[in-house]
Structure 1
Amino acid sequence: IDLKNELKQLKQEFNKRKQEINKHIQEINKRKRELETKGLEPPSISVQASKQSHTDAILHAYHKTNPSAS
């Protein structure tokens, strides 16, 4: 196994995923700006995918928008 080649492949894979994530972040920011220009308040749900599981994020958002549900 050539470790240098493996490391190079991992770096390429990492950069590819980083670009995809950045594309998603740009899309989110674009939608947020669109909402703000329409005079609507975007939901203030912070994206913490790295810290929370998907389910936790959904529950957090639900409780944030429905305080009586907790």
Structure 2
Amino acid sequence: MTDKSDEELCEIARQNILASRNKQLENVKLYLSRELQAMKELVKEYEDAKKVAMQADIEQLTKISQKYSKAL
């Protein structure tokens, strides 16, 4: 048998479980951090595309109003 008492073995087991859980938590944090970064990039791309589309809409409206003012 071992020289360690039941309490010592329980403590070692507890430490091993904590280490395993901490590693799992770190992996989840890393995964979520990457997912968050990907989502931020998607939002940025969407916002950039929205700005371009809005600018095109403004230009189109300006052209339409210029055509109407020339017609009048």
Larger helix share, 1 or 2: 2
The amino acid that maps onto 1:29 is L
Determine whether 1:26 maps to 2:65: no
Secondary structure of 1:38's counterpart equals helix
Residue pairs, 1:4-43, within 5 angstroms: 4-39=36-71
Separation in structure 2 between the aligned mates of residue 36 and residue 29 of structure 1, nearest angstrom:
11
Secondary structure of 2:56's counterpart equals helix
Identity within the alignment, %: 17
In the alignment, structure 1 segments of 5+ residues that lack a partner are: 41-70
| Runs of 4+ with >3 A deviation | none
TM-score by length of 2: 0.53
How many pairs are equivalent?
40
TM-score by length of 1: 0.54
Q: How far does residue 39 in structure 1 lie from its aligned partner after superposition?
A: 1.0
Separation in structure 1 between the aligned mates of residue 45 and residue 71 of structure 2, nearest angstrom:
39
Separation in structure 2 between the aligned mates of residue 28 and residue 8 of structure 1, nearest angstrom:
30
